[in-house]
Every structure is written in C-alpha cells, then in structure tokens.
C-alpha cells in the first residue's frame, strides 16, 4: 500500500530534550515536506526536500532541522524543543510535478512541557 509513515503518533517530552520524528514513504517520491498544524493557522511548511541531500527552509523553520540521506526517509529533528513547538506535525511526499498534490502521513501530536 502506498503510504507515508510517521512515528511516533503521540509524543510528550520536556523542554530541551532532543527528539526526532521519523517519516518514510514507499512511493519513490522526490519531494518531501514537513508541516505543522495549529488551530486557526492551517498547515504551515517547516522544511522541504526536493531530493536526496537537497533540503530548504519553509515558512516556519526556526527550531527544526531535517536531513535527507535516503530518498524514502525525511526525519524531523528538534534539537532543543520548546513549548511553542507543541503542535500536530505532518510529513508529506509528492511526485516531481506540482499537479499531483501531496500524500500525507497520519500525523504526530507533539506536546512539549
């Protein structure tokens, strides 16, 4: 089944404790993105990747890091999480042209206390 898999689904952590949210897709998509969803703000892009070893900042990159060492994986790293990073996070992937839209993972709900 074609899908984007994120782990974990739920995560509660403390301020400053480094964490990684994993994302993997099995569709051989070139593009991958991370979004965060906050009430009233819709989805905002954190980082994106056009292919292996090619990443760039989205609209809200502060406090996040990403890497793309393999085509299928695109982990999101929070080196020192803060409470304002409490949010619902989505990973998504897409084929190389804009017309296909994105396939989304099921989301990771992160709480930073």
Partner 1 sequence: AQSVTQPDIHITVSEGASLELRCNYSYGATPYLFWYVQSPGQGLQLLLKYFSGDTLVQGIKGFEAEFKRSQSSFNLRKPSVHWSDAAEYFCAVGGLSGGYNKLIFGAGTRLAVHP
Q: How far is the CB of 103 from partner 1 (least distance, A)?
A: 8
* Cβ atoms of 21 and 75 closer than 8 Å: yes
d(Cα 10, Cα 24) in Å, to the nearest integer? 17
Strand partners, 7: 22
Count Cβ atoms within 10 A of the Cβ of residue 98 and give its class: 0-12 exposed, 13-18 middle, 19 or more buried.
exposed
Q: How far is the CB of 106 from partner 1 (least distance, A)?
A: 4
Count Cβ atoms within 10 A of the Cβ of residue 41 and give its class: 0-12 exposed, 13-18 middle, 19 or more buried.
exposed
Q: 42 or 69: whose CB is closer to partner 1?
A: 42
Q: 47 or 80: whose CB is closer to partner 1?
A: 47
Q: How far is the CB of 20 from partner 1 (least distance, A)?
A: 19
Strand partners, 22: 7
Q: 67 or 95: whose CB is closer to partner 1?
A: 95
Q: How far is the CB of 18 from partner 1 (least distance, A)?
A: 25
Report helix, strand or coil for 73.
strand
Q: 75 or 105: whose CB is closer to partner 1?
A: 105
Site for partner 1, rule CB under 8 A: 31, 33, 35, 40-45, 48, 50, 56, 90, 92, 94-107
């Amino acid at each position: 089944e074609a899908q984007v898999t994120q782990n974990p689904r739920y995560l509660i952590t403390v301020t400053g404790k480094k964490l990684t949210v994993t994302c993997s897709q099995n569709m051989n998509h070139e593009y991958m993105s991370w979004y965060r969803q906050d009430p009233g703000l819709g989805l905002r892009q954190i980082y994106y990747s056009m292919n292996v070893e090619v990443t760039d900042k989205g609209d809200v990159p502060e406090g996040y890091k990403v890497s793309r060492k393999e085509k299928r994986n695109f982990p999101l790293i929070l080196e020192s999480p803060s409470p304002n990073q409490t949010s619902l996070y989505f990973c998504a992937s897409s084929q190389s042209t804009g017309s296909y839209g994105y396939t989304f993972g099921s989301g990771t709900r992160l709480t930073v206390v």
